[in-house]
Amino acid sequence: MTNNFPPLPTEIPGFNPTENKTNNLPQTPETTSVESLAPEKQPENPEQKPIIQEQENNFLEEAIGGLKQRLKTSKKTKQIPQVKDPITIDIEKIMEQELTDAYKELTPAQQQAFKIKGEETAWEIRALLKQTHVQIKKVFRLLLEWLKMLPGINRFFLEQEAKIKTDKIISLKEKHK
C-alpha cells in the first residue's frame, strides 16, 4: 500500500513545542479579561478613522432620507372638495342616519377620524354613482369598511346597516336621474 500524501514538514514556522504560551499570560483576575488579551486595532492612517465615521454618517443620513421619502409617498391622502353637490350631501345624510348614539360614544380623535373616513367614503360612492353601471357590491363594501370603525358593534348589525344604506343610496341615484 502506497502513501499518496506529501511528507509532513519537520519544522513548522513560528511554532515551538517547548515554549509554553500560558506562562506568559497575566495571572491576576483584574487583567485576565478577554479585552486585555486582544491586541488593539490601530488604523493604518490616523486620518482614516474620521473618514470611516464620516462615511458611516453619510450612509445613515442617506438611509434615513430614503425612509422619510418612502413614508411621504406612501401616505396617499385624498383631497375632498370643499364644495359639495346635492347628491353628495344626500349620500352623507343617508350615511349618518341612526348613527348618532354610536358617534357620541367615540373619543374626539375617533370622531374626527370617523368623520374624515365618512367624507372620503361619500366621495367615492358619489364617483361610483356617476358611472353608467353602478357596482352595488363596491358601494356596500365601502359602507361596511366605514362602519367597521365603530367599536363594539355586532358584525351582523353592521352588515345589515350597510345593506340598508346601500339600498337607500341606489334609490337616490334612481331619484336623481
Look at residue 35 and give its three-state secondary structure. helix
Picking from 118, 138, 120, 116, the residue whose alpha carbon sits closest to that of residue 129 is: 138
Q: Do the domain assignments include residue 126?
A: yes
Picking from 40, 23, 122, the residue whose alpha carbon sits closest to that of residue 81 is: 122
Among 33-37, 68-72, 76-80, 132-136, which is the least confidently predicted range? 33-37
Residue 85 has pLDDT above 90, yes or no: no
Q: Do the domain assignments include residue 111?
A: yes
Q: Do the domain assignments include residue 4?
A: no
* DSSP alpha helix (H) spans, 7-154: 34-37, 48-74, 86-96, 100-104, 108-130, 136-147
Q: Do the domain assignments include residue 12?
A: no
For the ranges 25-34, 61-70, 123-132, the one whose mean pLDDT is highest = 123-132
Range of the domain at 164: 86-175
Q: Name the residue type at position 109.
A: A
Please, how many CA atoms are within 13 Å of residue 149, restricted to the half-sphere of its CB?
20
